[in-house]
Amino acid sequence: MGKLAKRIREDSRSFSKRIALSAIRRNEHRKNEGLQDLTPFQRVENDFSRFSSIDSNILMDHFSRDDACEDISAATAPDGEVYFYSNLYIPRETVKALVRREERIAVIANRVRETSMRSIRLIDMESLVDVFPDLSHDDLDSHMAHLVKDTRYADIRALASATGAVYLYSEDFVPVETAMALLRTEDILAAMAQKVREDSQEAVCLTHFDSLRDVLSETEHLECRSHIDALLKDERFEDIRSLTGPTSIDYLFSEAFITESYARILARTEIENPCLCIAETVREESRLYPRPTNANLFCVKPFNMAEEDIVTYIEQTLNRPEYADIRCFRASTGTSYLFSTRYMNKKLARPMAETEEVDIYKNQ
């Protein structure tokens, strides 16, 4: 025991700065003590002592009974490997941290393999931050550096996209050619999401489905709709929503910057039909809130109708049979209000309009 303890101390001391561990592997033939091997806890090849018929628990029991070996401790990795070290040179907390790292790396590898096997898709490395919320990005990068160098995880591969994002997959289940095709899809989805978000945030406008063809090559145009469907189903882009306008035109928008109700308003302003825009807006306000619609609403963004045109547009709307439910009245201040008889009546609409006019007067 003394010789082995000495060897463990030597390993611990010589590699203490790099936190090396001496390992005993089960069920292996005894060959040469000090055989070099790769430790799961190290980035470099370290020395190990290997034994064939010695159970690690029995060996640790021997150490615990020997006062001269009281500094010898053991740690078990997730794969069952047992590591012996001297706590004279390596603190127990350091070893615990190494074991935790091994556990996380094993979880990452299993997650990647399961996703590759069951879903045939890549894993965005950024998504692993949600799996380990206590890890910083630097810690995660360090874990990944250990994973890709560990021969036990030789099937785990990393791919960098055009946006700089890193994706993982297992080549045991996903061929390289398939992985490259999946990477292109990831780039497309990321580019589509970026355009939608920029449109919603910076231009405050909806994104027409057809405009997303710009992020595709000519040979990919026919796949535009399938990519949009994939985008809407992907939980990573849960803020991206679809909307069908009054004339059956499809749009996308980001709920992070535009509410659904405002998106519907924007969709109405996209069509060159002021009467339909007025009628649909009035119906929605009568149904949702419910409340009558101040005619002055159509003078401001995003409608931006000319004040002198609004009276004409309202008259045209009231005279068209498809908008027979739209009614108009004047408040005591002379301001015109509209409502839909599908969702409210004049007895409810008028007092609400008078209340709004009082509030407007107070806030002037």
Question: How do the pLDDT tens digits run along the chain, 364 residues long?
Answer: 667 777 777 777 765 644 444 444 433 333 322 222 222 223 223 333 443 345 667 667 777 888 888 888 887 777 777 777 788 877 888 778 888 888 899 999 999 999 999 999 999 998 888 888 888 888 888 888 888 888 889 999 999 998 889 999 999 999 999 999 999 999 999 999 999 999 999 999 999 999 999 999 988 999 999 999 999 999 889 999 999 998 889 999 999 999 999 999 999 998 889 999 999 999 999 999 999 999 999 999 999 999 999 999 999 999 999 999 999 999 999 999 999 999 999 999 999 999 999 877 666 6
Give every CB contact of residue 193 below 8 A, 6+ residues apart in sequence.
231, 237, 240
- The structure's pTM equals 0.70
The Cα–Cα gap between 280 and 297 comes to 13
Which CATH number applies to 177-261: 1.25.40, 1.10.3470, 2.40.30, 1.10.10?
1.10.10
Same fold? 98-174, 177-261: yes
Eight-class DSSP state of 202: I
The answer to whether the beta carbons of residues 173 and 116 sit under 8 Å apart is: yes
Locate the domains of the chain by residue range: 2-90, 98-174, 177-261, 273-362
Count of helices and strands (H, E) across the chain: 11, 14
Alpha helix locations (H) across the chain? Answer: 2-14, 56-65, 92-118, 128-131, 137-149, 176-198, 224-233, 260-270, 274-288, 307-318, 346-362
- Domain 98-174 sits in CATH at 1.10.10
Q: Does domain 273-362 have CATH number 1.10.10?
A: yes
- DSSP assignment string, 70-102: TTEEEEE-TTS-EEEEETTTS-HHHHHHHHHHH
Q: At what angle do helices 176-198 and 224-233 cross, to 10 degrees?
A: 80
Q: What size, in residues, is the chain?
A: 364
Residue position matching structure tokens 């029995």? 58
Residue 345: in which H helix or E strand, if any?
none
The Cα–Cα gap between 304 and 205 comes to 14
**DSSP β-ladder status, 72-76 and 82-86:** antiparallel
